[in-house]
Each structure stands twice: as C-alpha cells, then as structure tokens.
Amino acid sequence: MSIATRTRTPPVVLGIETSCDETAAALVDGERRVLAEALFSQEDHHAPFGGVVPEIAARAHVEILDRLIARVMAEAGLRFDQLAGIAATAGPGLIGGLIVGLVTAKAICAVHRLPLLAINHLEGHALTARLTDAIDFPYLLLLISGGHCQVLGVDGVGRYRRLGTTLDDALGEAFDKAAKMLGLGFPGGPAVERAARTGDPDRFPLPRPLLGQPGCHFSFSGLKTALRQTVERLGPAALEPPTLNDLCAGFQAAAGDILVDRTRRAAALFRQHHPGANTLVVAGGVAANAALRARLADLAAGQDFRLIIPPPALCTDNGVMIAWAGLERLALGLTDDLAAPARARWPLDPAAEPAVGAGNKA
C-alpha cells in the first residue's frame, strides 16, 4: 500500500517539541483541528536552580516523550501509518533536548516510511496565528518569549525578514531575572505581573534602553542593571510590598515602553515593503502578560493594525504549533531528509546581520 492511500484525509501530522523545558506532542489535521495534545512542563525540575538546566531538561525529555506520543496517538485513535508526516523541532534551542525530539521523530519516520519535517521552533511560533485565525500573509510578528525577542516580517512559509532582535536578553529572560532579584521565584513573568498590578509605576523611574533610537533592535540589560542597583540600594525593603510592587510596576512599565517604541518602528518599516499590511501578531510566553497586551492593543489601534494574540497555551511552547508548521511545510512539499541535523542556533532569516552583542539564540 502506498503512503498516499493509507494516510488520512485531511492529512494528520504529529508535532514534537523538546527545544527547552516543555516536552510536548500533538496531532493536528489539515483542516485546523487539534485531534489530541499533551504537554509536560519541567518547571518544577528547574525551579530550584532559578532557570532551565540543559542537562536536566534533556534527561526529562527522554523520560517522558515516548509516553506523551503514545498518549496522543491513543486519544486520537490513530496508528503511525495513518499519519502524513512527523514534525519535530530541530532548532534553535538546547541541543540535548532537540536531539531527543528529532531522533524520536526520525525513528518513527524510518520505521513507518513517513516524511520528516524538521521544524524551526520560531517558525512554529510564527505560523500559529494561521492555525488559530486563518490569517493570510504578509503580517508583522512580535515574538517575545524566554529565549527570543524579535520582530519579523512574515511574507510566507519559510520567508521571514527579521526587522529587529535583542542585543542582550530576551524579554522573558529579563522578567525572570528581575523576579529572581526580587525573590519571586521561577518562571518570573507571571509573578512580576501579579505584583505590578497594585504597584506605582512612577515611584522608581527605570531606564528605557534604545527608546527613540533608529532601527528596531531591543535591549533590556540596562533596565535589568538599574533594577538591580535600586534593589541593592533599598535593601530588604525591596523584597516586601508595597516597595516590591512599585519596583515590579516600574520594570513592567519600562518594558512596555520599549516594546511599543520598537514595534511602532518595525510596523513603519514593514509597511514600506507592504503598504497594505494591517495585521500584527504577538506570540511567545510574555504575550500572556495582560498589561503588555493592553499596551500593544493601543499601539495596534493607533496604527490601524489588527492585533492577533493566540490563546496563552498556544503562545507558550507547545506541540500544536510544531504540528501545524509541519502541515504548512508538507503542503508545499518542503519535507526533510532523515540526516537533518539538530541546530542550537538557527536564525529564521539567514540574511539578517548578527546583532552586535546578541546573546539570544537566533
């Protein structure tokens, strides 16, 4: 029996995500239906260390991935030979985890003679809004997560133009570091947002690096350092409300100003190439922050952009976005060889100049 006759219509792709501290598997079909999904967050494994420990992450992926895949297959009532392909994140990310997911996908592909789709994790985030909202190309994408902080023009599948990236920390990373200095635990973003709700953002004015500067790059290290110096100056009072809340509010307000300023510039640049473009997509874990969402909603409204933010579970790392990116690539015949390598670094836009001092993965 040929692959074409035994696979399901519409095609179903299994997506596997292991690039950081989430182990995830999902089955999605070509009609935008999520047939099954499973996710194991390793947060508890890493919390004692205040950040993700690569070796611990890789081991945890090995221990659980098989079971997650078996669970989604059973839930959807499918056999591997009924799938149209297997998609796995091949980069960028922590190399140990990437290898676990990619090798697992290759093994299933080899046994069942299925096409492999080696997915760029950032492409997964970039295309999610086409699954949730069926939007057309082109659109502007602001990707703000723990590992990435970029603004990209998305012209088509595999066609990305990076307009700006961070010169130092990713925004989620800056939130996590701020939380750590304030004794708020890991991951820090949600805790900082919670504390900021009742805080006074003007009590401790913090710097907004690159604000008003040419270009669309981001920088958060000056903000982080200023927060650290303020915390040291204040002593133990910094770790207790109301001072704690005021510091969080000040930090979040500064982050919001930076985001809005850089995204506004990127939107103008994007429109030079696509005068009719009117869609702004925000993705990544930081997109869960309601205060930042509100700031971006104001920006979008003022610029005549429609703002699309996928639901939080699809903004953070997940298997659904990898399966969907796999379906998009499969539809275009963009399958990969079983020799496809795992890549710790893998820029979405290979033509983009490395940002000076960039510490980010792409």
List of residues contacting ligand KG4 (CB under 6 A)? 20, 145-147, 172-173, 175-176, 187-190, 193, 284-286, 288-289, 316-317
Residue 17: its H or E element: strand 12-17
> For 154, phi and psi rounded to 5 degrees?
-105, 105
For CA atoms 197, 202, 205, 207, the dihedral sign is positive
- Shortest distance, CB of residue 118 to ligand KG4, whole angstroms? 18
Segment contacting Zn ion (CB under 5 A): 4-12, 194-202, 315-323, 328-336?
Answer: 315-323
DSSP-assigned letter for residue 202: T
Q: Which is nearer to ligand KG4, 173 or 336 (CB)?
A: 173
Q: Which is nearer to ligand KG4, 147 or 153 (CB)?
A: 147
Q: Which of 37, 176, 246, 317 binds Zn ion (CB under 5 A)?
A: 317
- Shortest distance, CB of residue 160 to ligand KG4, whole angstroms? 17
Residue type, 286: V
Nearest one of 202, 208, 235, 212 to 222, comparing CA atoms: 208
CA 315 to chain centre: 6
Among Zn ion, ligand KG4, none, what does residue 243 contact (CB within 5–8 Å per kind)? none
- Shortest distance, CB of residue 182 to Zn ion, whole angstroms? 24
- Beta strand 139-144 with 34-41 is unpaired
- Shortest distance, CB of residue 41 to ligand KG4, whole angstroms? 9
Q: Is 18 in the site for Zn ion (CB under 5 A)?
A: no
Q: Which is nearer to ligand KG4, 106 or 295 (CB)?
A: 295
- Shortest distance, CB of residue 89 to Zn ion, whole angstroms? 9
Residue 13, SS3? strand
Q: Which is nearer to ligand KG4, 11 or 256 (CB)?
A: 256
Helix orientation angle between 221-234 and 171-181, rounded to the nearest 10 degrees: 10
- Shortest distance, CB of residue 49 to ligand KG4, whole angstroms? 14
Number of H helices, E strands in the chain: 12, 10
Q: Which is nearer to ligand KG4, 154 or 174 (CB)?
A: 174
Q: Which is nearer to ligand KG4, 53 or 78 (CB)?
A: 53
- Shortest distance, CB of residue 82 to ligand KG4, whole angstroms? 30
Q: Which is nearer to ligand KG4, 163 or 288 (CB)?
A: 288
Burial profile 200-230: b = 16 or more Cβ within 10 angstroms, e = fewer: ebeebebebbbeeeeebbbbbbebbebbeeb
Among ligand KG4, Zn ion, none, what does residue 146 contact (CB within 5–8 Å per kind)? ligand KG4
Contact by Cβ (8 Å): 326, 83? no
Nearest one of 154, 163, 82, 69 to 120, comparing CA atoms: 154
Secondary structure (H, E, C), 101-119: HHHHHHHHHHHHCCCEEEE
Side-chain half-sphere exposure of 294, counting CA atoms within 13 A: 5
Among Zn ion, ligand KG4, none, what does residue 285 contact (CB within 5–8 Å per kind)? ligand KG4
Query: How many residues touch Zn ion (CB under 5 A)?
Result: 2
- Beta strand 279-283 with 139-144 is parallel
Burial (Cβ within 10 Å: 0-12, 13-18, ≥19) of residue 361:
buried
Q: Which is nearer to ligand KG4, 301 or 313 (CB)?
A: 313
Among ligand KG4, Zn ion, none, what does residue 251 contact (CB within 5–8 Å per kind)? none
Among Zn ion, ligand KG4, none, what does residue 138 contact (CB within 5–8 Å per kind)? none
Q: Which is nearer to Zn ion, 22 or 29 (CB)?
A: 22
The interface with Zn ion within residues 125-164 (CB under 5 A) comprises: 145
Segment contacting Zn ion (CB under 5 A): 33-41, 171-179, 246-254, 316-324?
Answer: 316-324
Contact residues: Zn ion, CB under 5 A = 145, 317
